[in-house]
Amino acid sequence: MSADGNFRRIGIVGVGLIGGSLAFAVRRVFPDAAVIGIDGDDVTLVARQLGALTVGSRDLSALAEADLVVLAAPVRQNIAVLSQLGGILRGPALITDVGSTKRATLEASRCLPPNLTFIGGHPLAGSARGGLEASRADLFERRPWLLTPDAATPAAAQARLVAFVRAVGATPVVIDPAFHDHVLAYTSHLPQLAASALMHVVGESVGEPGLRLSGSGLADTTRVAASPAPIWSDICGTNADEVLPALDRLIGTLQTLREQLARDESIAPLFESAQRWRARVK
Amino acid sequence: MSADGNFRRIGIVGVGLIGGSLAFAVRRVFPDAAVIGIDGDDVTLVARQLGALTVGSRDLSALAEADLVVLAAPVRQNIAVLSQLGGILRGPALITDVGSTKRATLEASRCLPPNLTFIGGHPLAGSARGGLEASRADLFERRPWLLTPDAATPAAAQARLVAFVRAVGATPVVIDPAFHDHVLAYTSHLPQLAASALMHVVGESVGEPGLRLSGSGLADTTRVAASPAPIWSDICGTNADEVLPALDRLIGTLQTLREQLARDESIAPLFESAQRWRARVK
């Protein structure tokens, strides 16, 4: 650990939208730090050419001297990497992730040796377009960055991570990992499932000629359906116990609407409830 | 009818987002035409002060001398007005509407006397925010304006309406009324139902503190849930035979996702299908 508390060698596993944007932000804020990106050769070559990375490698062993590792691959890949880091990092080092579910990765972190400290994280920043090419240094500016320490987390490590998150422009918000997974099942995972199911049904039902007869409503409602499938398989798969009841509630509400329409009853009360809640979404 | 084929006295019933925007557009393109708005006193007063209307009234009898009447209220109100216009318009006059379903209003138009010609219309323009205050003269610029004549429609009347739609900046697209209602059930009405059901479920499940833990995904996916409830009650109610099978397909797809998640099977194929279709949405 450096005298000023800043990290000197920052590893980023997965140089997509979030990992790439974080690399750009770190290079801007901490120009003296080494930024080691782990991804395919083609990705890390481009990221080095763009100045996002100082080192690029396919090989986790490039992280041996890192004092901070950020796991920014799909959740189940993060978990697989986590199980290998104990044998790679010379440590002491802090490990965090940027995955959209928090409990499964926290569980996997229990096997880390004592010189490595894990604290889960989740920046609420993103875009329907993924990949390094959509990355930008200001992606996290003024966005919430959720941190999910637990009772065992050392206060000093948490304070360093909070300072790091602030340095890249985000607003740290500390919450409980289980509460995170419960709330995000509704505010993120269910909207994604609804948008993807809707886009699939609309496309299969009316095809490309039908899609031409659409306005901004369909475009807005299905925007996140452009997101990469592997990311969302892992998110929903590692939060199924929360996502399933959320899905059941949505299916139940759609069935209620269906019954009301079939009986020519008013659907206005549900639409009015939705309108009231929508006014509270930023 | 004027020598140049342009309308001289244009009535607009319902001065909300679409009616108000049309009034502004007409005033800009045809500054010599009278624009008669029918709505509540408070709305027409503001619309006259803003220069959108030359005449404002609560009373349909103000339309007596109109040569074009545009019905821009919710669909079932348009149908109720249509049944009264035969006794009010001295005619000959053209009547059109801007409703999101076409068959029910076309059926209602069969009772019009022979001096009145009805052709359905539907501009694919709008915004989640409704009302006169969201109106703008350029709302229709380069947007499709669907026209749904049938076999009985006189060619000359259709040509005049096509010219009018073009004059206010839109791109006229002539399609069959039943095909319109089938396709729009998927590309517009189902997204609205999905967004409103989703917003209701998310709000009721996590409340305002939970909504703070959301990003652009929830905001995009639920944007149209801010739309006024009465408009959508009428749209879904007058297209129930098309909306019900669309809802059933969405419910079925969500149930499939539910089963896959419950069995820890891959949901990636459906997400990949959605991603492919989303790439074809403008």
CATH number of the domain where residue A243 is located: 1.10.3660.10
Can you name the residues that pair with A119 across neighbouring β-strands? Answer: A96
Q: Do residues B202 and B256 share a domain?
A: yes
**Residue A144 counted as domain residue:** yes
Q: In this predicted structure, what is the pLDDT of residue A228?
A: 87
Q: Do residues A165 and A186 share a domain?
A: no
Per the structure, the count of domains in chain B is 2
Q: Which residue of A has its CA nearest to B179?
A: A210
Closest CA to B132 of B208, B233, B228, B43: B43
Choose one of A124, A152, A175: the last residue of a domain: A175
Q: In this predicted structure, what is the pLDDT of residue B104?
A: 97
**Residue B2 counted as domain residue:** no
Q: Do residues A193 and A168 share a domain?
A: no
Q: Do residues B126 and B139 share a domain?
A: yes
**Residue B82 counted as domain residue:** yes
Q: Domain range spanning residue A119?
A: 9-175
In Å, how far is B95's CA from the nearest CA of chain A? 23
Q: In this predicted structure, what is the pLDDT of residue B30?
A: 96
Sheet holding B144-148, edge to edge: B55-57, B34-38, B9-13, B68-71, B93-97, B116-123, B144-148, B171-174
Q: Do residues B232 and B101 share a domain?
A: no
- C-alpha dist (Å) from residue A196 to B34, B91, B189, B215, B260: 47, 50, 16, 17, 14
Q: Provide the CATH number for the domain around residue A144.
A: 3.40.50.720
Inter-residue contact B59 to B48 (CB < 8 Å): no
Q: In this predicted structure, what is the pLDDT of residue B2?
A: 60
ipTM over 0.90? The verdict is yes
Residue pLDDT, tens place only, B156-177: 999 999 999 999 999 999 999 9
CA distance B220 to A250: 17
CA distance A116 to B208: 36
Q: Do residues B93 and B209 share a domain?
A: no
What are the residues whose beta carbons fall under 8 Å from the beta carbon of A193, sequence distance 6 or more?
Answer: A236, A243, A247, B254, B257
Q: Do residues B60 and B76 share a domain?
A: yes
Q: Do residues A62 and A138 share a domain?
A: yes
Q: Do residues B216 and B118 share a domain?
A: no
CB contact under 8 A, B282 and A219: yes
* Mean pLDDT, contiguous 10-residue spans, chain A (282 residues): 78 97 97 97 94 97 98 96 96 95 97 96 84 93 96 96 97 97 98 98 97 94 93 94 98 98 95 97 89
CB contact under 8 A, B276 and A232: no
**Residue A2 counted as domain residue:** no
CB contact under 8 A, A247 and B270: no
Choose one of B153, B175, B197: the last residue of a domain: B175
Q: In this predicted structure, what is the pLDDT of residue A2?
A: 59
Q: Report the percent of chain B where pLDDT is more than 70.
A: 99
Inter-residue contact A153 to A121 (CB < 8 Å): no
Choose one of A175, A203, A223: the last residue of a domain: A175
Whether the per-residue pLDDT at B184 is higher than 60: the answer is yes
What residues of chain B, 161 to 180, have a C-beta less than 8 Å from chain A?
A: 173, 175, 180
Which residues in chain B are closer than 8 Å to A239, comparing Cβ atoms?
Answer: none
Closest CA to B91 of B113, B62, B110, B58: B113
What residues of chain B, 64 to 93, have a C-beta less than 8 Å from chain A?
A: none
Q: Do residues B147 and B192 share a domain?
A: no
Whether the per-residue pLDDT at B8 is higher than 80: the answer is yes
Other C-beta atoms lying within 10 Å of the C-beta of residue B30: 17
What residues of chain A, 242 to 271, have a C-beta less than 8 Å from chain B?
A: 243-244, 246-251, 253-255, 257-258, 261-262, 264, 266-268, 270-271
CA distance A187 to B25: 39
CA distance B243 to B233: 12
Residue A141 at interface with chain B, using a CB cutoff of 8 Å? no
Q: How many residues does chain A have?
A: 282
Residue pLDDT, tens place only, B227-282: 988 899 999 999 999 999 999 999 999 999 999 999 999 999 999 999 999 999 98
What Rg, from alpha-carbon coordinates, does chain B have? 21
Q: In this predicted structure, what is the pLDDT of residue A245?
A: 98
- Number of A/B CB contacts below 8 angstroms equals 321
Q: Which helix (H) or strand (E) holds B116?
A: strand B116-123
pTM: 0.93
Q: In this predicted structure, what is the pLDDT of residue B126?
A: 76
Q: Do residues A168 and A238 share a domain?
A: no
**Residue A232 counted as domain residue:** yes
Q: What is the DSSP string of B141-170?
A: TT-EEEEE--TTS-HHHHHHHHHHHHHTT-
**Residue B3 counted as domain residue:** no
Whether the per-residue pLDDT at B3 is higher than 80: the answer is no
Q: Do residues A65 and A161 share a domain?
A: yes
